[in-house]
Amino acid sequence: MAKLFTFAVSFMKHLAYLNKFFYKYRWRLIPGIIFVVISNIFAVLPAQVIRVAFDLVTENIATYKLYSGFNRQHIVYDIFGSSLFLFGVLVLVLALIRGLFLFFMRQTIILMSRHIEYDLKNEIYNHYQLLSLAFYRRHNTGDLMNRVTEDVSRVRMYLGPGIMYTINTVVLFVLAIYAMLTVNVRLAVYSVLPMPVLAFIIYYVNNIINYRSEQIQERLSSLSSFVQENFSGIRVIKSYVREGFVRKSFAAESEDYKKHSMSLVKIQAMFFPLMLLLVGLSNVITIYVGGVEVMKGNITPGNIAEFIVYVNQLTFPVMALGWVTSLIQRAAASQKRINEFLKEQPEVTSPHGIKKTIEGNIEFKNVSFTYPDTGIKALDDVSFSVKPGELVAIIGRTGSGKSTIANLLMRMYDTTGGEIRVDNTLLQNLDLNSFRSQTGFVPQDVFLFSDTIANNIAFSADKLDMPKVEQAAKDAAVYNNIIELENGFTTLIGERGLTLSGGQKQRVSIARAIMKGPQIMVFDDCLSAVDTKTEEEILNNLGRVMQGRTSIIISHRISTIKNADKILVIDNGRIIEQGNHNELMQQKSVYFELYESQLLEEENA
């Protein structure tokens, strides 16, 4: 019992988060509860009408027999018939009124649950938007989506049907058991005896059903990820002639799914007959014990009919009790998962950040950084400075820490050592949104939304300004490619639209950053898929667009960066050389070797 209590308390602890919504929607909840009570009163009343009608039948049969042989006998028969008809109408009217209130009950409580579901989804989604990049690295997309969809749906089941059926069960139980006890205590006790067993079995079987359904759900999502991945990688599958292998793997995954579905069907098949058996048992007990009581003269035969109606009316709430218990259990587990995410605080914040117009002075002072999730030290004692109007290039081997510098400058993460200053103010002290809105970032892995090209380029703006979009596309040397398309700037790209080439995507992504007109621009290896001639054109345009502003270009190719004002050569998280192209060439060290080897590669090509 104590264990059960702690169990219930732990459910309630997680679900307590939702109480604020009950308060918000109290003017739906309170009428809803009142409607539940009223509908139940009309559910219990017909049983009593039936008892009166039943007793009337037995009495009238006796009276009818008494008049046997008299010519008045048909009058008794007529009165008897019309009063029974009236009782029938009464039961029908009561049922209709009950139905009306059941409708109101659903209209208030279920609607409330839909409103809360909407609020909760928005709340979680808004919270997601606040969280930092590190959070997204820790959790996979499937998990993030599940908590805002699947988990919220389960919580809604508690808020709507869960609450509604709980109140309904309690009210009906109180009313029906009270009515039963006032008639005959012994019969009342015997009639409800199988009910706890029924509730327990429903709860138990329901838990098994839920568990198996979850397993099926898992198989289904693994099956769909399998299919989705294979469709995306269809070119690799075909070129490696692995169709047969993929077909077999699919059949194995499907077989697994089928096996789990079968086990669910088996348990579901048991569910209904078992329930009917227990309900039938209650009826048999009621008739037997009731019959004995009638013979003893304690109750009338009408009472048996009345009890049968009660027992059958109680069946659904008892089943609901078992169902609701497992439903609340699942909702609590889901809400616990939701709360975990809602409690997450963004690592990168700027509570009293300064909002100011940035000029573009950047200074890294002994900056070190270790990635929180992997413990990899990506930067070690990095110092450099950039003035407005300067172009700084970063070059180095793969994994040397170039993108990490960009990540820190964009405040995707905060430094773990040293400091970054922008216009002599610590980066942490600048207002995050104001700072980010004045910087442009072209990431290494290009991401474009499933939208038109124009909307992708104008992503930073609230309104679509076509002349600006076109100019940005021209500066990013992608304008000609776009207008060659049938629908030009209105061409849909991404999942549902056209797939651009790697170089085109990179240039659309550059145009998006240029469109923003930022004071600081960071290009993270975003010219890798562009030929050297186009690259030169883009760099020339950028020189014009970024005049008086700060640019940082990360690249592997010396051709991209050789005209930079300053070149940083990074290795293993440290700056090993620093200077312009000529200075570094004179040092005849790492940069020089890189230049020579790339020159050789080009000549060979």
Ligand X SMILES: Nc1ncnc2c1ncn2[C@@H]1O[C@H](COP(=O)(O)OP(=O)(O)OP(=O)(O)O)[C@@H](O)[C@H]1O
Stretches 145-153, 244-252, 399-407, 474-482: which one binds ligand X (CB under 6 A)?
399-407
Of 378, 477, 508, 546, the one binding ligand X (CB under 6 A) is 378
Residue 470 or 525: which CB sits closer to ligand X?
A: 525
Quick check: 398 binds ligand X (CB under 6 A)?
Answer: yes
CB 349 to ligand X: min, Å: 19
Of 98, 330, 402, 507, the one binding ligand X (CB under 6 A) is 402
Quick check: 368 binds ligand X (CB under 6 A)?
Answer: no
Residue 126 or 398: which CB sits closer to ligand X?
A: 398
Residue 154 or 402: which CB sits closer to ligand X?
A: 402
Stretches 400-408, 421-429, 473-481, 515-523: which one binds ligand X (CB under 6 A)?
400-408
The number of beta carbons lying within 10 Å of the beta carbon of residue 417 is 15
Quick check: 129 binds ligand X (CB under 6 A)?
Answer: no
Quick check: 374 binds ligand X (CB under 6 A)?
Answer: yes
Residue 525 or 577: which CB sits closer to ligand X?
A: 525
Stretches 95-103, 261-269, 370-378, 431-439: which one binds ligand X (CB under 6 A)?
370-378
What residues numbered 515-544 form the site for ligand X, per CB under 6 A? 525
Q: Is 292 helix (H, G, I), strand (E, B) or coil?
A: helix
Of 4, 272, 373, 462, the one binding ligand X (CB under 6 A) is 373
- Give CA separation, 503 vs 515, 521, 551, in Å: 18, 19, 21
Quick check: 555 binds ligand X (CB under 6 A)?
Answer: no
Quick check: 46 binds ligand X (CB under 6 A)?
Answer: no
Residue 404 or 541: which CB sits closer to ligand X?
A: 404
Of 286, 400, 504, 509, the one binding ligand X (CB under 6 A) is 400
Of 194, 290, 317, 401, the one binding ligand X (CB under 6 A) is 401
Pick left, alpha or beta for residue 431 (phi over 0 → left; psi -120 to 50 → alpha; otherwise beta). Answer: beta
- Give CA separation, 261 vs 80, 253, 270, 328, 448, in Å: 57, 13, 15, 24, 39
The number of beta carbons lying within 10 Å of the beta carbon of residue 437 is 15
Quick check: 371 binds ligand X (CB under 6 A)?
Answer: yes
Q: What is the CA radius of gyration of the chain?
A: 37
CB 526 to ligand X: min, Å: 11
Residue 475 or 577: which CB sits closer to ligand X?
A: 577
Query: What does residue 360 show for φ and ψ, rounded to 5 degrees?
Result: 120, 15
CB 150 to ligand X: min, Å: 27
Quick check: 455 binds ligand X (CB under 6 A)?
Answer: no
- Give CA separation, 211 vs 44, 198, 199, 206, 334, in Å: 36, 20, 18, 8, 14
Q: Are 172 and 43 in contact (CB under 8 A)?
A: yes
Q: For the chain, how many helices (H) and strands (E)?
A: 24, 10
For residue 489, what is the enclosing H or E element? none
Of 81, 88, 142, 399, the one binding ligand X (CB under 6 A) is 399
Residue 161 or 401: which CB sits closer to ligand X?
A: 401
Query: What does residue 432 show for φ and ψ, rounded to 5 degrees?
Result: -60, -50
CA separation for the pair 532, 559 (Å, rounded): 8
Residue 406 or 427: which CB sits closer to ligand X?
A: 406
Q: Are 401 and 379 in contact (CB under 8 A)?
A: yes
Question: Number of C-alpha atoms within 13 angstroms, CB side, residue 29?
Answer: 16
Of 284, 376, 464, 483, the one binding ligand X (CB under 6 A) is 376
Place of tokens 């029906």: 176
Q: Are 48 and 306 in contact (CB under 8 A)?
A: yes
Bridge partners (DSSP) of residue 442 are 523
Residue 151 or 525: which CB sits closer to ligand X?
A: 525
Residue 88 or 399: which CB sits closer to ligand X?
A: 399
Please give the full DSSP string across 531-558, using - where no structure is assigned. -HHHHHHHHHHHHHHTTTSEEEEEES-H
Write the interaction track for ligand X spanning residues 412-451; mark x where CB under 6 A is met and - where it is not.
--------------------------------x-------
Residues binding ligand X: number (CB under 6 A):
16
Of 40, 184, 403, 452, the one binding ligand X (CB under 6 A) is 403
CB 378 to ligand X: min, Å: 4
Q: Three-state SS across 203-244? A: HHHHHHHHHHHHHHHHHHHHHHHHHHHHHHCHHHHHHCCCHH
CB 138 to ligand X: min, Å: 10
Of 24, 127, 137, 574, the one binding ligand X (CB under 6 A) is 137
Stretches 30-38, 105-113, 312-320, 372-380: which one binds ligand X (CB under 6 A)?
372-380
Buried b (16+ CB within 10 A) or exposed e, 163-189: bbbbbbbebbbebbbebbeebbeebbe
Q: Are 260 and 215 in contact (CB under 8 A)?
A: yes
Place of tokens 């995410």: 341
Q: Are 465 and 458 in contact (CB under 8 A)?
A: yes
Residue 156 or 566: which CB sits closer to ligand X?
A: 566
CA separation for the pair 135, 267 (Å, rounded): 40
| DSSP-derived secondary structure letter, 519 | S
CB 133 to ligand X: min, Å: 8
Stretches 32-40, 64-72, 374-382, 531-539: which one binds ligand X (CB under 6 A)?
374-382
Write the interaction track for ligand X spanning residues 315-354; mark x where CB under 6 A is met and - where it is not.
----------------------------------------
Please choose, from the candidates 159, 166, 215, the residue with its C-alpha nearest in 3D space to the C-alpha of residue 335: 159
CA separation for the pair 229, 23 (Å, rounded): 45
CB 554 to ligand X: min, Å: 7
CB 528 to ligand X: min, Å: 9
Of 404, 452, 456, 541, the one binding ligand X (CB under 6 A) is 404
Quick check: 138 binds ligand X (CB under 6 A)?
Answer: no
CA separation for the pair 48, 54 (Å, rounded): 10
Residue 15 or 394: which CB sits closer to ligand X?
A: 394
Give contact residues for ligand X (rule: CB under 6 A): 137, 371, 373-374, 376, 378, 396, 398-404, 444, 525
